Structure 1
């Protein structure tokens, strides 16, 4: 279970962009979070992924409260997530080849021996050829780079996926392809999903349920069993 309990968060304590928001996602469940740009949904997604410390409230991951944020989070909690952002060029090191980009989490967690096998497995899954893997971000399209970022998000076999507007910059065919990859992974692994976006049609087709931001802001947390 991924639980966000009464989260207030922002970038200035005097003007939080998220106020008292609660949300619960069951294992294997896909939840869409729908809202306009600037409402705070991306900030909430970063809190859920342990990438941003809230001003107040609690994140509970698989029954254990979050014990840290970003690199201070325990490895077991930090690596439970795969995160995909809206703008791949802002989340990719321009010095790395796509192959090295995908391998980043493995190397960071001391699993270098698994790099060749995981790249060989994931590259065709996300639609990347060997020639593209050798290129750097400036040598590929946004769609190709987002495919590599998706492979990076999946490389540690996470239990939870956070997709923050992951298709906003993509054409319809690439969007369909990447959503299919996420869904295939979820069926195989049982991973839960929080998909953030402003496209109601996409979220309602993709997710088990879709929650509007206004509804979420006034809904109390689900009771803990």
Structure 2
């Protein structure tokens, strides 16, 4: 279970973007978080993914209360997540070839021996050829780069997936392909999913249930979020 209780979070002192929000995702469940741009949903997703420390509230992951965020989180918690952002070019190191990008979490975790096998396993799943794996981000389209970012999110076999507007910059065919990859992985692994978006139809088709931001907060938030990450 991934539980967020009474979360308050923001980027400036005394100016919260999220105020007192609670949300749960059960193991194996796909939950959609629906809301307009700038309402605070991406900030909540970053808190859920242990990428942003909240100003108040608690996050519980698999029965354990989270006490550290980003690099201060225990490795077992950091590696429990696969995260996919809206803008792949902001989350990809431009110096890396796509194959290296996919393998990056394994390299960082000292698991170099697994890199070739995992990249070779995931590349065809997300629709990347050997030729594309040798290219750098500036040499591929947004859709191709997002395919590589999805493979990177799956490379450590995470128990939880956080997809923050992952299809917002993609065409319909690429959107369908990447959603299918996520759903196939969830069926095989039992991973839970938090899918953030503003496309009601997509979330309704993709997720077991969809939660409206207005229902979590009582009213749509007026404050703007920080730019999508990284």
TM-score band by shorter chain is: over 0.9
State the SS of the aligned residue for 1:58.
strand
| Structure 1 contact 32–211 (Cα < 8 Å) conserved | yes
Deviation at 1:12, TM superposition (A): 1.0
| Distance in 2 (alpha carbons) for counterparts of 1:135 and 1:162 | 26
Which consecutive residues of structure 2, in runs of 5 or more, have no partner in the other structure? 219-230
Number of residue pairs the alignment of both structures matches: 218
Q: What does residue 212 of structure 2 align with?
A: 212
**TM-score normalised to the size of structure 2?**
0.94
| Distance in 1 (alpha carbons) for counterparts of 2:179 and 2:123 | 16
| Structure 1 contact 13–55 (Cα < 8 Å) conserved | no
| Distance in 2 (alpha carbons) for counterparts of 1:206 and 1:187 | 13
Deviation at 1:62, TM superposition (A): 0.1
Misfit runs of 4+, over 4 Å: none
Deviation at 1:67, TM superposition (A): 2.5
Alignment partner of 1:87 is 2:87: yes
Show the 5 A alignment for 1:126-141. 126-141=126-141
Which consecutive residues of structure 1, in runs of 5 or more, have no partner in the other structure? 219-225
Q: What does residue 57 of structure 2 align with?
A: 57
Q: What does residue 222 of structure 1 align with?
A: none
Show the 5 A alignment for 1:111-130. 111-130=111-130
State the SS of the aligned residue for 1:119.
helix
Q: What does residue 189 of structure 2 align with?
A: 189
| Distance in 1 (alpha carbons) for counterparts of 2:15 and 2:35 | 19
| Distance in 1 (alpha carbons) for counterparts of 2:111 and 2:88 | 24
**TM-score normalised to the size of structure 1?**
0.96
